[in-house]
Amino acid sequence: MAATKIKPRKDIQEVLRAKGQHYGDFPNHARITQNIKRALVDSKNWEELPDAMKESLEMVAHKIGRLLNGNPLYKDSWVDMIGYLQLIVNDLED
């Protein structure tokens, strides 16, 4: 098995710059997303949800934070949210 190569610092900085163009400043994104997650946890049903539902909602919160902080026209964020929600729908249908 081949060893995994770690990208040089320059490549990582390029990735972060590109992500920042779509998602905006990370500390501000984190503030928005954490506020959404606090609202989720503060709900009456949160503790009763299975882990998969919690994770799906947290990932949607993450994507919403990116849209509110960065480019709301970035289609991938919208598609990702649909995907996380569809995983739960699939579980409910089984």
pLDDT in tens, 4-51: 776 667 789 999 999 999 999 999 999 999 999 999 999 999 999 999
Per-residue pLDDT band at 67 (split at 50, 70, 90): very high
Residue-range definition of the domain harbouring residue 78: 47-94
CB 69 within 8 A of CB 24: yes
CB 28 within 8 A of CB 34: no
CB neighbourhood size of 57 (10 A): 20
- Residue 72 tokens read as 């709301």
pTM metric for this prediction: 0.85
Per-residue pLDDT band at 2 (split at 50, 70, 90): low
Has residue 68 been placed in a domain?
yes
Has residue 27 been placed in a domain?
no
Split into its structural domains, the chain has a count of 1
Has residue 53 been placed in a domain?
yes
Has residue 4 been placed in a domain?
no
Has residue 29 been placed in a domain?
no
Residue 60 scores a pLDDT above 90? yes
